[in-house]
Amino acid sequence: MKRIICFILTSVLAFSLFTSCDNSNTTSEPSEPEIIYNPNPLTGLEKDDNYPDGERPIAFAVNNIHFADPQKGLAGADIIYEIVAEGGITRFLAVYSNYRNITAIGSLRSARDQHLQCMFPLGAIYMHIGGSTVATSMLYQYQYEDKEIDGNYQSIRDVAFYFDNNNHARANGSEHCWFTNSALIATAIEKYDIDTQGEPAPIFNFVPYYEPARELEGGTADSFTFRFSDYIYDPHPEFIYNEQTGTYLREQFGAPHMDEETDEQLSFENVIILFTEIKPRSPGDILMDVNFRYGGYGFYFCNGRYEQIRWIKGMPEDPIRIVDLDGNEIDVQINPGTTYVAVVSIDEYDYLQITGVPAQDIEAEISVDE
């Protein structure tokens, strides 16, 4: 028995020495660390430690009539859509990946269907106070009851919103003075059993955040300006590139667009202008019908440069896609960062100026009359 054990031990030792000598002649290549790509779907940036994995974003209908300025909380949004709501007055759809970071947001107004068509693809929780007939019908059609917090009902308004007595807009109507914050949002989510689960897919074809930013091919865009309408209260937005921060600073109504809560000027890494047909729903109607069904042309601005783009959408639940100019449905890469999207009437195309040059004078790769 002892001889057997001794033989086994000797054999194991000899095998060990053999394999040890064999390994000494082998040079192993160091393996590259695996990159785990984990982007915030609204910005394309890497998720931070506070990102709520698996949760829906949250979106708000935010006022933009001149006497309701300044707004609160817009500087913290991941993406903002601005579209004419009625007449020539615009309204924002402000979207955040994490409601827990919102110290205040507003003033909040009623829903419009053109904003819903930007929001539905995100599956976001939606906070608003009432809505147009078309918007209310669309929320019902898309079974959004368990994902919206509508302050049109006094019981909900008392729980989820607060009235700002110091808001200077109060003289023009109490509807301009309603706000909310993260604590009230959390209370409303729990009380009304709001469905928080459902992280969306990335909203654009983002350049991976670990790769260099893409340089846009069109030309230099140190600044640009446009308008939504000829209405006296049109904001006439202007964006000025800040080379130090790599962002576009937003101005409106002839002054820097400031966030009252943070005292910051609104700024964005990406600015996208989409042109389409916008007209009154019926003759004399102040509510506007925005044509998302066929898409159109537009401009993308980033890092002090621009390029012309084409966009497509389709049904209300379909995402907006930024695609190439060649007629292919190939998604253009968008650089990571916060984004501002303006949906503008094709009738206002001639009012777009890039670094002081009217858009119609830029050597175009596209025709807005197609």
pLDDT at 30: 63
Closest CA to 40 of 202, 198, 214, 196: 202
b/e sequence 332-358, b meaning 16+ C-beta within 10 Å: bebbbbbbbbbbbbbebbebbbbeeee
pLDDT at 258: 97
* Residues whose CB falls within 8 Å of the CB of residue 86, separated by 6 or more in sequence, listed in order: 112, 286, 287, 288
What are 302's two structure tokens?
């980033």
Q: Which domains does the chain have, with CATH numbers?
A: 58-191 (3.50.90.10), 205-360 (3.50.90.10)
| C-beta of residue 250 within 8 angstroms of C-beta of residue 239 | yes
Coil, helix or strand at residue 74: helix
Looking at residue 171, what is its pLDDT? 59
Asked if 150 and 128 touch (Cβ cutoff 8 Å), the reply is: yes
pLDDT of residue 6: 38
How far from each other are the two terminal CA atoms of the chain, in whole angstroms? 94
Q: How many CB atoms lie within 10 A of CB 43?
A: 23
Q: Give the helix ranges, DSSP H, for the chain.
A: 2-24, 113-119, 133-141, 154-160, 182-191
Which pLDDT value is given to residue 284?
80
Asked whether 176 and 108 are in contact (CB, 8 A), the reply is no
Q: Write the DSSP assignment of 91-136 as a string of letters.
A: EEEEEES-GGG-S-EE-B--B-HHHHHHHGGGT-EEEES-B-HHHH
Give the residue among 332, 367, 340, 364 at the shortest CA–CA distance from 80.
340
Q: What pLDDT was estimated at residue 26? A: 52
Q: Is 307 helix (H, G, I), strand (E, B) or coil?
A: strand
DSSP string, 141-201: HTT-TTTEEETTSHHHHHHH-EE-TT-GGGGG-GGG-EEE-HHHHHHHHHHTT---B-PPP
pLDDT in tens, 19-57: 444 444 555 566 666 778 999 999 999 999 999 999 999
Distance CA 116, CA 93 (A): 9
- pLDDT value, residue 2: 37
Please give the Cα distance from 33 to 78 (Å, whole number): 30
CB 126 within 8 A of CB 149: yes
pLDDT at 328: 85
Whether residue 6 contacts residue 14, with contact meaning beta carbons closer than 8 Å, is answered with no
AA letter at 103: T
Token duo for residue 346: 């094709």
The predicted structure's pLDDT at residue 31: 65
3 state DSSP class of 305: strand
**Closest to 109 in 3D by CA, of 94, 121, 96:** 94
Phi-psi category of residue 219: left, alpha or beta, with phi > 0 → left and psi -120 to 50 → alpha: left
Q: Using an 8 Å Cβ cutoff, are 206 and 336 in contact?
A: yes
Q: What is the pLDDT along the chain (370 residues), one digit of tens a residue?
A: 434 333 333 443 343 433 444 444 555 566 666 778 999 999 999 999 999 999 999 999 999 998 888 899 999 999 999 999 988 899 999 999 999 999 999 999 999 999 999 999 999 999 999 999 999 999 999 999 999 999 999 999 999 999 997 776 665 778 889 999 999 999 999 999 999 999 999 999 999 999 999 999 999 999 999 999 999 889 999 999 999 999 999 999 999 999 999 999 999 999 999 999 999 988 888 899 999 998 999 999 999 999 999 999 999 999 999 998 887 889 999 999 999 999 999 999 999 999 998 888 875 555 555 4
